């Protein structure tokens, strides 16, 4: 009797991982858990742990992920790395950017992008944003100087940048384009996936990103030679694996992705198309909802419909006059209802103490006058969007139909108070 009971308990506990997987799969969605398991993440991690191949140098999980990711983006090569920032640094090194070269980026993208530029030995130059797309302006004016080599286009919060226009801008100044798609997995620009338009596209799987692996990054490219160079750069530049020579020709980093992370990201990617479809359906509904609100409009970047966007944060244009309310007041009212909002983009990077207090001078050693002038400039369009006309609604409020209904009803109630 006792033996039968113990055997029964053993059988039950053996089923617990299965039960837990089922619960995660079917209840995470209606309850709006975020980040949400989108495939069989727990089993995939267990498989890697049981295999004993935890590192990229011995495991196969990163190879599977690279081929699935390349297929999803529609490019021949994907190189798995440990963060999005590392993806940027390695890309700049592999593309031949060197100390003193300048790279232009929008002034209010994530500060990680500017720091990655600096950690690659280059100088970030900030551009004010377009009032239409909240991304790169349509002209660079005097921003591109003799040492400017690159232009980073960020698909902000999953809204697509117009990559055809960016390519023209780059061509007119002789700049290599890097596509920062860290926030934009699945977004589309000019008929292609975000990341597939420039010389390289980069992605992150860290926190707040479209899919998450507890950190991680990816570089995609159409260029086979570049992909090889990138693969050697992630092993401190060692060329044994990719060139058959034990030698190092570049200053490099450890950019390797863990096999455990690769397994999680693979499973996240499997469930992502369906997840994105559901999210876009909700956003189509939200766009319709906002059509009846005088003073609020969904921002899609250069996208023509919600089908072009990844909505890592939902960006809305405000007209304070029509709303008869300041952005700051609206944010406070929404916060009181439990609705988390932020700005449409990030703060201006030169407003951070590192730039304001001139600490950057410890690290940028060339072309100082140009950098100083750029960092002390005004960025009026950014300032207007940051202070008044751009707001971001946390993706968490779109994590389930239930949460989305609650968002609409609370937003409706706040707006009715005017």
Contact residues for ligand PLP (CB under 6 A)?
83-85, 109-110, 112-113, 154, 180, 182-183, 204, 206, 217
Q: What is the DSSP string of 337-401?
A: TT--EEESS---GGGSHHHHTTGGGGT--SSHHHHHHHHT---HHHHHIIIIIEEEE-GGGGSSH
Write down the least CB distance from residue 336 to ligand PLP, Å.
28
**Beta-strand runs (E) in 184-273:** 188-189, 192-193, 200-204, 217-221
Q: What is the rounded CA–CA span in Å between residue 169 and residue 120?
A: 23
Nearer to ligand PLP among residue 370 and residue 382 (C-beta): 382
Q: State the residue number with the nearest CB to ligand PLP.
A: 84
Write down the least CB distance from residue 113 to ligand PLP, Å.
5
Q: What is the rounded CA–CA span in Å between residue 324 and residue 33?
A: 35
Nearer to ligand PLP among residue 183 and residue 371 (C-beta): 183
Backbone angle region of 34, left / alpha / beta, with phi > 0 → left and psi within -120 to 50 → alpha: beta
Starting from the edge strand earliest in sequence, which strands make up the sheet with 217-221, in order?
Answer: 77-81, 217-221, 200-204, 176-180, 148-154, 102-106, 123-127
Write down the least CB distance from residue 15 to ligand PLP, Å.
36
Nearer to ligand PLP among residue 129 and residue 415 (C-beta): 129
Write down the least CB distance from residue 270 to ligand PLP, Å.
21
Q: What is the rounded CA–CA span in Å between residue 166 and residue 127?
A: 13
Distances 26 to 39, 58, 313 between C-alpha atoms, Å:
11, 34, 24
CB contact set of 180 (below 8 Å; sequence gap of 6+): 84, 88, 105, 109, 113, 152, 153, 154, 155, 202
Report residue 156 as tokens. Answer: 């902000």
For the chain, first and last CA: distance in Å? 71
Nearer to ligand PLP among residue 41 and residue 161 (C-beta): 161
Write down the least CB distance from residue 91 to ligand PLP, Å.
11
Write down the least CB distance from residue 93 to ligand PLP, Å.
16
Write down the least CB distance from residue 241 to ligand PLP, Å.
24
Nearer to ligand PLP among residue 108 and residue 259 (C-beta): 108
Write down the least CB distance from residue 264 to ligand PLP, Å.
14
Nearer to ligand PLP among residue 216 and residue 295 (C-beta): 216
3-state SS assignment for residue 154: strand
């Amino acid at each position: 009797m006792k033996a039968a009971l113990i055997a029964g308990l053993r059988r039950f506990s053996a089923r617990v991982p299965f039960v837990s997987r089922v619960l995660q799969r079917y209840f995470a969605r209606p309850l709006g858990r975020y980040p949400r398991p989108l495939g069989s993440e727990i089993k995939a991690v267990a498989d890697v742990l049981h295999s004993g191949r935890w590192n990229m140098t011995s495991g196969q999980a990163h190879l599977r992920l690279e081929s699935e990711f390349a297929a999803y983006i529609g490019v021949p090569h994907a190189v798995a790395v440990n963060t999005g920032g590392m993806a940027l640094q390695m890309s700049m090194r592999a593309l031949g950017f060197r100390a003193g070269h300048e790279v232009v980026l929008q002034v209010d993208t994530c500060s990680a992008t500017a720091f990655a530029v600096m950690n690659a030995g280059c100088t970030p130059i900030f551009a004010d944003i377009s009032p239409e797309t909240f991304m790169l302006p349509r002209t660079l004016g005097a921003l591109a100087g003799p040492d400017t080599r690159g232009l980073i286009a960020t698909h902000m919060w999953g809204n697509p940048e117009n990559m055809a226009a960016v390519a023209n801008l780059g061509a007119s100044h002789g700049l290599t384009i890097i596509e920062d798609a860290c926030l934009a997995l699945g977004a589309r620009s000019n008929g292609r996936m975000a990341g597939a338009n420039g010389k390289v596209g980069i992605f992150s799987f860290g926190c707040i990103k479209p899919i998450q692996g507890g950190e991680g990054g990816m570089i995609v490219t159409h260029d086979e030679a570049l992909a090889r160079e990138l693969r050697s750069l992630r092993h401190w530049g060692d060329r044994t694996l990719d060139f058959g020579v034990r030698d190092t020709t570049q200053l490099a980093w450890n950019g390797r992705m863990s096999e455990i992370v690769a397994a999680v990201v693979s499973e996240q990617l499997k469930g992502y198309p369906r997840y994105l479809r559901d999210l876009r359906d909700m956003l189509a509904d939200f766009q319709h909802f906002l059509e009846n609100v005088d003073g609020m409009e969904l921002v899609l970047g250069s996208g023509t419909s919600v089908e072009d966007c990844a909505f890592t944060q939902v960006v809305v244009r405000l007209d304070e006059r029509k709303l008869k309310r300041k952005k700051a007041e609206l944010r406070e009212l929404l916060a009181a209802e439990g609705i988390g909002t932020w700005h449409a983009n990030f703060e201006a990077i030169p407003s951070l103490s590192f730039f304001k207090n001139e600490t950057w001078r410890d690290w940028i050693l060339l072309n100082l006058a140009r950098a100083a002038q750029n960092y002390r400039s005004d960025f009026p369009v950014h300032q207007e969007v940051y202070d008044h006309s751009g707001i971001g609604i946390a993706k968490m409020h779109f994590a389930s139909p239930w949460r989305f209904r609650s968002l609409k009803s609370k937003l409706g109630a706040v707006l009715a108070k005017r």
